[in-house]
Chains A and B, each alone.
Chain A
């Protein structure tokens, strides 16, 4: 169990049988008054958000969350199938559940799948850095006076980002999946 004084941004708690993550947190305490723990919560399954104020004597259950290493196998329609690399068990998550992770997800990639209640996959965490091949890059226009020192490219997943001018089609580049930013060009 957590008590109100454990609440902070990023903490995961269980409310009405579902897992929530605290996305915003503020402690307030008017002079001579009670401590108030003001939170914004996001349901980790539905994505629904709400705000709620708690008091010192409120208690919270810890949600049963577990991460397992799994490999991305294939997609079929809106279902994305993963396999547990030790037990060979297979599960899928929907396009909606994966959201922006699809910008960087490649066949055979190993990811952390988050399970709620032991059975139910609800989210994935990608490796921090992924290497993707540039499939479309316009040549750098010499004498460009726009003042920018980057140009747009598209990688094999269809994701578009800004890179330095020397990156060309066919190059493999490293991207930080947390920010979606270009990191470096990868030598083959």
Chain B
């Protein structure tokens, strides 16, 4: 359970995030968290609520609002993923998600950097008004000074993984090598954006024109912690339907058969080019205040209840 001071830090974070997005003319939305149909994702197990589900992400509803004519949206909301428990996971966590029409993932990386820096400065100002922005993790100082590093998934696998990303994916070892060899090395001097993921790992992202093997997807890493996942959004309903069918087909044990999100696919035809990103707000707070686990920055963790 958070102390009054911890609650104050969390409240400051929420305020700082909101003021950043309001200053950029974003509209805040609050879409339903209990839904009859979710994004079919092979590796995410939803929690059922009667015959509906608790959302695993607000993506479907937010994209439908974008398709309906809203140019810029953000949302701060709880998301639920069954069985995910660990230092960086809770079954219920707080997601910050935002979308900008007319943008690709390149502009979104810039804005993500700007947002995290702005929020960190504001939180630091509440504490001791330091001029420089940096955080401390595992005895190291990580500078948030611009520009942040950008590295392709391919380069990261060559440098740290001992094999190419494609080879790792073919051997079914992409996740293992990413988690065990690549991630621990990422973002210790400055935050780093890893970008251009194998197309099979980006069901909702647009294929890169120059290289059909990869999708325009990125992840932000700070001190080995995966913080945000963004992409240029796929806007082709037919390609999206095929990718969803593949995800539904390869869902593992313990996953309820997921229905096809038909209303979403229908709306996708009206979705303009846009880019969107989801950021784990609990993880950001954990990094900024120097906590060891996200449970340490939640008002109540599962264990407290």
CB distance from B187 to the nearest CB of A (A): 14
Bound: A160/B293 CA distance, A? 37
**Residue count of chain B within 8 Å CB distance of chain A:** 26
Across-interface contacts of A57 in B (CB, < 8 A)? 252-253
Asked whether B110 is an interface residue with its Cβ less than 8 Å from the other chain, the reply is no
Q: Is the CB of B89 within 8 A of A56?
A: no
Residue pair B41, A32 in contact (C-beta under 8 Å): yes
Contact A32/B86 with A53-B176, A53-B180 known, Cβ cut-off 8 Å: no
Instruction: Verify if B43 is at the interface (C-beta below 8 Å from A).
Output: yes
Chain B residues whose C-beta falls within 8 Å of the C-beta of A26 in the assembled complex: 86-87
Given contacts A31-B219, A57-B252, A57-B253, contact A36 B175 (CB under 8 A): yes
Q: Does A75 contact B (CB under 8 A)?
A: no
Select A28's contact among B43, B88, B254, beta carbons within 8 Å. B88
Map CB proximity to B onto A24-58 as digits: 1 under 8 Å, 0 otherwise.
Answer: 00111111111110100000000000000100110
Say yes or no: is B59 at the interface (Cβ < 8 Å to chain A): no
B69 within 8 A of A: no
Q: Does B98 reach chain A (CB closer than 8 Å)?
A: no
Chain A residues with CB below 8 A from B144, complex form: none
Interface membership of A103, Cβ < 8 A:
no
Interface flags for B88-112 (1: CB within 8 Å of A; 0: not) read 1100000000000000000000000
* Cβ of A69 under 8 Å from chain B: no
A30 to B43, CA, bound (A): 10
Q: Is the CB of A33 within 8 A of B43?
A: yes
Chain A, interface size category, equals: 10 to 19
Chain B residues in 8 Å Cβ range of A53: 176, 179-180
Q: Are B85 and A33 in contact (CB under 8 A)?
A: no
A30–B201 Cα distance when bound, in Å, is: 10
Q: From residue A31, how far is it (CB to closest CB) to chain B in Å? A: 4
**Is B75 an interface residue, CB under 8 A from the partner?**
no
Residues of B within 8 A of A31 (CB): 219, 226, 229
Is B196 engaged at the interface, CB distance under 8 Å to the other chain?
no
Contact: A34 with B43, CB < 8 Å? yes
Asked if A5 lies at the interface with its beta carbon under 8 angstroms from chain B, I say: yes
Q: Find out whether the CB atom of B202 lies under 8 angstroms from the CB atom of A32.
A: yes
Which residues of chain A come closer than 8 Å to B178, judged between CB atoms?
Answer: 30, 33
* CB nearest neighbor in A for B254: A56
Indicate if the CB atoms of A32 and B85 lie closer than 8 Å: no
Which B residue's beta carbon lies closest to that of A4?
B83
B41 contact set on A, CB distance < 8 A: 32
Closest chain-A Cβ to B38's Cβ sits at a distance in Å of 14
> In the complex, which residues of chain A have a beta carbon less than 8 angstroms from the beta carbon of B43?
29, 32-35
Q: A27 contacts which chain B residues (CB < 8 A)?
A: 84-87, 89
The answer to whether B252 touches A28, judged by C-beta atoms less than 8 angstroms apart, is no
Would you give the shortest CB distance from B129 to chain A, in whole angstroms? 34
Which residues from chain B contact A32 at a C-beta distance below 8 Å? Answer: 41, 43, 197, 201-203, 229
Closest to B201 in A: A32
Residues of B within 8 A of A35 (CB): 43, 83-84
**Alpha-carbon distance A57/B252, docked complex (angstroms):** 8
Distance (whole angstroms) from the CB of B278 to the closest CB of chain A: 9
From residue B85, how far is it (CB to closest CB) to chain A in Å? 6
A-contact bits for B16-41, CB 8 A (1 contact / 0 none): 00000000000000000000000001
Name, among A32, A33, A56, the residue most crowded by chain B CB atoms within 10 Å (CB to CB).
A32
Q: A30-B175, A32-B229, A36-B179 are in contact. List 14 more A-B contacts (CB 8 A).
A: A27-B85, A27-B86, A27-B87, A28-B88, A29-B43, A29-B86, A30-B179, A32-B43, A32-B197, A33-B43, A34-B43, A35-B83, A56-B252, A56-B253
Q: Which 5 A-B pairs have the closest CB atoms?
A: A27-B86, A33-B175, A31-B229, A34-B175, A28-B179
A-B contact pairs, 28 of them (CB 8 A): A5-B83, A27-B84, A27-B89, A28-B86, A28-B88, A29-B43, A29-B86, A30-B178, A30-B183, A30-B226, A31-B219, A31-B226, A31-B229, A32-B43, A32-B197, A32-B202, A32-B229, A33-B174, A34-B175, A35-B83, A36-B176, A38-B179, A53-B179, A56-B83, A56-B252, A56-B253, A57-B252, A57-B253
